[in-house]
Amino acid sequence: MRRRLGWALIAVACAGVTACGGHKATKKDVIAHANGICVSTLRQVREVPPPAGSSLTALAGYLAKVAPIVDKEASDTRALPRPTKDRAVLNRYVAAVSASATQYRALATAAKNGDAAGVSQALATLRDNPAQALAQQYGLSECIAAAGTKVS
């Protein structure tokens, strides 16, 4: 019993460091990991053929494929370690990416329901999302273009 408790305590202690080698995640580590998430997300989104035509039905079909990719980006981003250096900026970036995933789902729902006003509102909200600016502020060079797969 004491041996199990000892291993459990070691496991808990290791949870706060990467690879249990005494190395806590640094801002540089987070930048590398986050940039990888952004590159992967952008690549996956670019693999989805754009909507054929300008109808809300075509947009809904496209968004049905893109929204899960953006959801995964948000989930992976929320799982990033949070080193103390510039943590507040990183936290705001993570929140902005999560918000973009929520807005993509709202956009997909509006398009599926044929709600042009809802589509316009969701697009406006996505355009105003601060993820790109926060990515730049934190030093996430690969996330500046990809943050929440920004809508133009």
- CATH code of the domain covering residue 119: 1.20.120
User: Phi first, then psi: what are they for 137, rounded to 5°?
Assistant: -60, -35
pLDDT in tens, 103-116: 999 999 999 999 99
Quote the tokens at residue 79: 């799982």
pTM, two decimal places:
0.81
Instruction: Give me the domain span that covers residue 73.
Output: 25-149
Q: Which two tokens stand for residue 14?
A: 């290791």
Of 134 and 53, the one with more pLDDT: 134
- Any domain includes 1: no
> How do residues 86-143 score in pLDDT, each as one tens digit?
999 999 999 999 999 999 999 999 999 999 999 999 999 999 999 999 999 999 999 9
Q: Give me Rg for the CA atoms of the chain.
A: 19
Residue 11 has pLDDT above 50, yes or no: no
In a domain, 74, yes or no: yes
Helix axes 56-78, 87-112, angle to 10 degrees: 160
Cα gap 81→55, rounded to integer Å: 41
Provide the domain count of the chain: 1
Look at residue 108 and tell me if it is in a domain. yes
